[in-house]
Structure 1
Amino acid sequence: MATEIQGNKAQRLAFWGIPLAIAVLGLKMLAWWVTGSVALLSDGLESIVNVVAAIVAFVVIGYAAKPADAGHPFGHYKAEYFSAVVEGVLIVVAALLIVAEAIPAILAPKLPETPVLGLAINLVAGIINAIWAYTLIRAGAALRSPALTADGHHIFSDVITSIGVLIGLVLAILTGYAVLDPLLAVLVACNILYQGWKVIARSVDGLMDKAVPADEEEAIKTAIAANAMGSLGVHDLKTREAGAAIFVDFHMVVPAAMPVGEAHDICDRLEDAIREVHAGAKIAIHVEPEGEKAHGIRVKVIEGLRS
């Protein structure tokens, strides 16, 4: 239930990202139209990616929030990583388009027209993007949404690009070196390529069943150690992230004569404790009867968890 609520919140945010991305795209293309600046055009081309990415994120987050079914018994959470991969690829495409526009302008550079108006329009678009990027990154972390986080980081890179464009165009106007405009566009493309690579790398890492961050795993260990009374120890703790969901798996050793009901009560207590750390965590506990060899090892493990 908790992951479904998170998914609904993430999808609502993703929806509002679509009209916002279209509005920012309109502002940036208007800035390019009034100036003819290749650097401003490069900034606008990246915003086309933002629009497509916002639409993809909205669709994929909705799909990822679907409950588990017979075909996908562990849920659809990983779909968000595909959205982030698609966004990374689109970022790379945008960078290549920028380079294609910049090369002819390097060979025949010219100063932008009505630069003050164009820079002012682009500045407004940059401020909108900065606020939205901050909102998405915070929400992505809180809702454990890779798609929102990737979108936020991409838009933040767009903000950095806009700042670079503004600085570069001011230098071109002040110095009279028109070639600074297309050269800056190439630098923008390089930055976009780097950001695209980071988005893809983070997404592929998630698809590979990456463990939860070290601090979160430590919190899970602490919860287990504090609530494993009655057991003889735990071992083989494994965690993994899949979009908004967290999966926790471990083995618990109990006395061989312990009734099933008592072992089940310990499992319930552990599950409740872990979900206080991670609401909606998917937990699998394998209960094992004590054995002479396993007993000594596993008691040490749980003592280590308490330290």
Structure 2
Amino acid sequence: MSPQAIRFLTPRRLLMASVVVAIITIALKTLAWYITDSVGLLSDAMESLVNLASAVFGLVMVTIAARPADEDHPYGHHKAEYFSSGFEGILIIVAALGIVWAAGHRLFDPQPIEQVGWGLALSVGSSALNGLLAWVMFGAAREHRSIALEADAKHLVTDVWTSAGVVVGITLVHFTGWLWLDPIVAIGVALNILREGFHLMWRSSQGLMDEAVEPEIMDTVRETLAVFEHRRGETEIVRFDHITTRKAGQRRFLDMHMHMPASWTLGRAAAVRGSVEQALMSAVPGLRATIQLLPSDVEAHFDDTKDLI
């Protein structure tokens, strides 16, 4: 994705687009359900309602996450995106349970499906729209490191698979006459999106509990620090330890100790620390590094029993 596209396709703009697309797909899928009376297409339309609610909530949370740090939130508002992901997971689960309820009734009272051709055409058209938007959002989510965009994109992909399952089910009903296939497909769709809902809630909980940064980012951090580590014979001149990391929405935070000779002046030590911080933030966009300076012969201890009480 080009730099120009990245700057234009911000999380806020994409979530606004998701709201518009959700409204369009709701209209198309509701019309498809109305003309066919298929409970499978009804389940598809219900999931699109969840798409709309989650996109609106995601838009609000991304707007909050973009606020600068203030006196009450000195580390910023980046974690607001995790609330979006968790809320979307809850809505997906609620939609899945609603689909099971509707399909259960239809399973014991099968109804014929009308005007299959028009219903399938409307469903496929709305799914193509969702699939295109999801593809764009996945790329932007990687570039912006936005869990809110990723969650919405995953939900849209789930919607596409839902529609695909419904289309297959209705086609089979049309050619076989087995009316019970329609609610069975709807229940299968519900179980699939139920799994996705729990996955999103898990991702959200891990972010709120200060999960460590991704392994590939830690590899980049270690490679960057290796450039600054020096030895003179058997003695380490500059070394780093007690490296801890956490994620907060689009931000990555790193805390560590940098050991150096006690004979160095404060000005020299601070200059090296500044170079390390700049190199880390250049290697990992969005990273905020906090480095504590210590003499080479001083060790910090974090496992004191008094700190664990």
- TM-score of the alignment, normalized to the shorter chain, above 0.5: yes
Counterpart code for 2:194 = L
What letter matches 2:84 in structure 1? S
Query: What is the one-letter code of the residue matched to 2:265?
Result: P
- Which residue number corresponds to residue 146 of structure 1? 147
Query: Quick one: which amino acid aligns to residue 171 of structure 1?
Result: L
What SS does structure 1 have at the residue aligned with 2:18? Answer: helix
List runs of 5+ in structure 1 lacking aligned partners.
296-307
The amino acid that maps onto 2:163 is S
* 1:280 is aligned to 2:286: yes
2:90 alignment counterpart: 89
Q: Deviations over 1:132-167 (max 9, x none)?
A: 111112211210111110111111111111111111
Opposite residue 237 of structure 1, the aligned amino acid is I
> For the residues of structure 1 that align with 2:7 and 2:92, how far apart are their CA atoms?
27
> What letter corresponds to residue 273 of structure 1 in structure 2?
A
In the alignment, the residues of structure 1 paired with residue 9 and residue 167 of structure 2 have an alpha-carbon distance, to the nearest angstrom, of 37
2:275 to 269, 272, 277: 269
Task: Quote the offset at 1:211 in angstroms.
Answer: 1.1
Partners in 2 of 1:9 and 1:172 — Cα distance? 43
Equivalent residues in 2 for 1:122-161, closer than 5 Å: 122-161=123-162
AA in 1 matched with 2:165: G
**Residue 26 (structure 1) aligned with residue 32 (structure 2):** no
Counterpart contact for 1:7–1:64, Cα < 8 Å? no
Which residue in the other structure is 1:246 paired with? 252
Q: Distance in 2 between matches of 1:11 and 1:91?
A: 21
Q: Does 1:235 align with 2:241?
A: yes
- The SS at the match of 1:227 is coil
SS for the counterpart of 2:223 is: helix
Q: Which residue of 2 aligns with 1:182?
A: 183
CA contact (8 A) 1:229 1:266 kept: no
CA distance in 1, matches of 2:112, 2:283: 57
Quick check: 1:14–1:54 contact (8 Å CA) kept in 2?
yes
Tell me the alpha carbon deviations over residues 87-132 of structure 1, each in whole angstroms, 9 at most, x when there is no partner.
0000011011111211111111022100011001100011111111
Provide the aligned C-alpha RMSD in A: 1.8
* Residue number in structure 2 paired with 1:162: 163
- 1:8, 1:182 → 2: CA distance? 39
Offset, 1:280: 2.9
Query: Would you say the 8 A contact 1:35–1:112 is kept in 2?
Result: yes
Structure 1 contact 84–199 (Cα < 8 Å) conserved: yes
Q: Which amino acid aligns with 1:122?
A: S
TM-score (norm 1): 0.91
8 Å Cα contact 2:97-2:190 kept in structure 1: yes
Separation (CA, whole Å) in 2 of partners of 1:116 and 1:85: 37
Instruction: Summarize the Cα distance change of 1:147–1:6 in structure 2 as closer, same or farther, 3 Å threshold.
Output: farther
| Structure 1 contact 224–270 (Cα < 8 Å) conserved | yes
Alpha carbons 1:57, 1:80 under 8 Å: kept: yes
> Mapping of 1:33-44 within 5 angstroms?
33-44=34-45
Aligned-partner residue type, residue 52 of structure 1: A
Shift in Å, 1:275: 1.4
Pairwise CA distance, 1:281? 1.3
The offset of 1:10, in angstroms, is 1.2
Q: TM-score, normalised by structure 2?
A: 0.90
Report the counterpart of residue 75 of structure 1 in structure 2.
76
Structure 1 partner of 2:265: 259
What is residue 301 of structure 1 aligned with on the other side? none
Which residue in the other structure is 1:64 paired with?
65
In 1, are the aligned partners of 2:220 and 2:284 still within 8 Å (CA)? no
Alpha-carbon offset, residue 63 of structure 1: 0.1
The percentage of counterpart residues that share the same residue type is 38
Task: State the partner residue of 1:46.
Answer: 47
- Secondary structure (helix, strand or coil) at the match of 1:68 reads coil
One-letter code of the match for 1:186? I
